[in-house]
Amino acid sequence: MSRMSREFGLVLLGAGILTAGYFAAPAPEDEMEKIADEQAADRTGHDRTHHRHGMVPLFLFIHSPAYAGNASGRPSAYSPTTRAGGFGSAGRAFAGGGS
Amino acid sequence: MHRMAVEPRADWQRKVEALGLHFHTLGGEPYWDESACYTLSKFEVDSIERATYALWEMCLELVQHVIDNRMFGLFLIPPEFEAIVIRSWDEDWPSIYGRFDLAFDGVGPPKLLEFNADTPTGLVEASVAQWHWLKETDERGDQFNSIHDRLLEAWAAAKASDPAPIHFAAIEGNVEDYITVEYLRDTAIQAGIQTAYLNIEAIGYDTARKRFTDPQNRVIQNIFKLYPWEWLTKDTFAQHIPASGTKWIEPPWKMILSCKSILPLLYQLNPDSPFLLPAWFEAPSFGSYVKKPIHAREGANIQVVRNGVAEQETTGAYDTSVCVYQQLASLKEHDGMYPIVGSWVVHGWACGIGIREDGNMITQNTSRFVPHKMSD
């Protein structure tokens, strides 16, 4: 019922792949903390640190499993009849969609 | 259920970062906090497991009830989305996961505080980080945690029902959401599914094909989105969702369960359940209760009323015009902290817990995640 009887592997998060590669621009480790803190403040309305800066993490995923890896980190190939950007605006005020 | 002070592992920050948990510290204070742990007996774990299964069953019955009685307005589901809610339910579109937040004192039955049915986070912490913590600190120790295994099963089942690739999307620039989605994509890959990640903002709509596409111009047939339905249905592209042919995970019928209107309705339908607190659509005229906006999250915009007097309130940016009211749960204090048990249901399995604690009674997204283990 409860016991996980075997060790398990992680394809994306394990082996430091994600850790090493997912910022397009090098970011100091402590920037992660600031970003996470700002996002928490945005959601709760509490600014615990009073840090404010304009950096937004740009994720560039370097691992490429069979299908494509990261569809956001490549040059766009939208067709001429395609528009993007129609999702995301309702969530912008809240920083994140998790609960 | 007891809280124990324990010695954090040396260099614990690097250890959890290696598992993807980069958001372990907020404002200089640990969010992932391994200076303590909770121990639970087998009896207590059984109680949580039993409650989780019962709540899940009640939730599924509630969805059927809402559909049968066309009660969509109670959940602020736009009329143009009613058909896709029904279709996703009737066609059994894949549902991967959800998290019940429970008040539990270790003595009485766990009580449902809310159900994070659509976009639950805290997943990497519960499934991966606390398991590695346990194996390193107590190799023979046990934990209520088969979340990872059940996720592999859930994706395998999703693949069996539809082998097409699945896109994974989160809002741009949020570390926690991105890591959560990448962990879920990880488990989908391990289940043999072809996947791709994209930001929710990068989803395109091709007016010629009338399909959603990714930046590589590939049609999005299936998509897991860590982006709540109540936001999706407000965005510009919302109008294209019903006829787009895209299957969404979590499915549209989760619009019902992710809304706090389920709390009074669950209580109306199951007034004798030991796992439910009394809840109402109107404010009680007396007593102690919690006022919750039906679409707020992470403990924002909550008001605690004790004996008719507002005692505590959190801020936030959510719409507070429509609220529900739930009897105030008695939370047991442990060393000055109030723990909430997040009980995961994955592919219908009650399969593990993550415990969040805070110095006050409202758990918010800055509340600490504390690992747990089972006592002998």
Mean pLDDT of A47-53: 34
- The reply to whether A35 touches chain B by the CB within 8 Å rule is yes
B241 to chain A nearest CA, in Å? 11
* Mean confidence (pLDDT) of chain B: 94
Looking at this predicted complex, what is its ipTM?
Answer: 0.89
Summarised one tens digit per residue, pLDDT across range A73-87 is 566 789 999 999 999
Question: B226 and A35: CB-CB below 8 Å?
Answer: no
CA–CA distances in Å: residue A92 to residues A42, A43, B201, B230, B300: 10, 11, 10, 13, 16
Give the closest of B131, B230, B235 to A4, CB-based.
Answer: B131
Please give the structure tokens belonging to residue B137.
């600190």
Please give the structure tokens belonging to residue B39.
């121990």
Give the closest of B165, B205, B235 to A82, CB-based.
Answer: B205
Cβ proximity of A43 and B365 under 8 Å = yes
Distance separating alpha carbons of residues B358 and B354, to the nearest angstrom: 14
Give the closest of B144, B201, B217 to A78, CB-based.
Answer: B217
- The reply to whether A65 touches chain B by the CB within 8 Å rule is yes
Give the closest of B122, B185, B300 to A12, CB-based.
Answer: B185
* Mean confidence (pLDDT) of chain A: 57
Burial class (CB in 10 A: 0-12, 13-18, 19+), B335: exposed
B290 to chain A nearest CA, in Å? 17
Least confident span in A68-77, B55-64, B87-96, B250-259:
A68-77
- The reply to whether B294 touches chain A by the CB within 8 Å rule is no
A31 to chain B nearest CA, in Å? 10
**Count of CA atoms in the C-beta half-sphere (13 A) of B26:** 23
Summarised one tens digit per residue, pLDDT across range B20-60 is 898 999 888 899 999 999 999 999 999 999 999 999 999 99
Please give the structure tokens belonging to residue B266.
């669950």
Q: Would you say how long chain B is, in residues?
A: 376
B176 to chain A nearest CA, in Å? 7
| pLDDT, greater one: A4 or B300 | B300
Q: Tell whether omega for the bond before B57 is within 30 degrees of 0, i.e. cis.
A: no
Q: What is the DSSP letter of B145?
A: B
Q: Which residues of A touch B118 (CB under 8 A)?
A: 99
B202 to chain A nearest CA, in Å? 6
Closest chain B residue to A20, measured at CA: B18
Closest chain B residue to A29, measured at CA: B22
Give the closest of A7, A56, A93 to B317, CB-based.
Answer: A93
Distance separating alpha carbons of residues B281 and B261, to the nearest angstrom: 8
B residues 9-68 lying closer than 8 A (beta carbon) to A: 17-20, 22-23, 25-28, 31, 45, 49
Question: B171 and A36: CB-CB below 8 Å?
Answer: no
DSSP string across B3-55: EEE-PPPTTHHHHHHTTT-TT-EETTEESB--SEEEEE-HHHHHHHHHHHHHH
Question: A86 and B237: CB-CB below 8 Å?
Answer: yes
Is the model's pLDDT at A17 over the cut of 70? no
- Residue B324 pairs in a beta bridge with B292
Q: Which residues of B touch A32 (CB under 8 A)?
A: 22-23, 175
Distance separating alpha carbons of residues B312 and B344, to the nearest angstrom: 28
- pLDDT on residue A41: 56
Mean pLDDT of B71-98: 97
pTM given for the model = 0.87
Q: Taking the CB of residue B209, how many other CB atoms lie within 10 A of it?
A: 15
- pLDDT on residue B27: 83
- pLDDT on residue A43: 46
Q: Which residues of A touch B31 (CB under 8 A)?
A: 36
Summarised one tens digit per residue, pLDDT across range B135-190 is 999 988 999 999 999 999 999 999 999 999 999 999 998 889 999 999 999 999 99
Least confident span in A23-37, A53-67, A77-91:
A53-67
A79 to chain B nearest CA, in Å? 6
Closest chain B residue to A44, measured at CA: B316
Distance separating alpha carbons of residues B17 and B12, to the nearest angstrom: 8
Cβ proximity of A98 and B117 under 8 Å = no
The residue behind tokens 């954090």 is B8
Burial class (CB in 10 A: 0-12, 13-18, 19+), B202: buried
- Burial readout B183-192 (b: 16 or more C-beta within 10 A, e: otherwise): bbbbbbbbbe
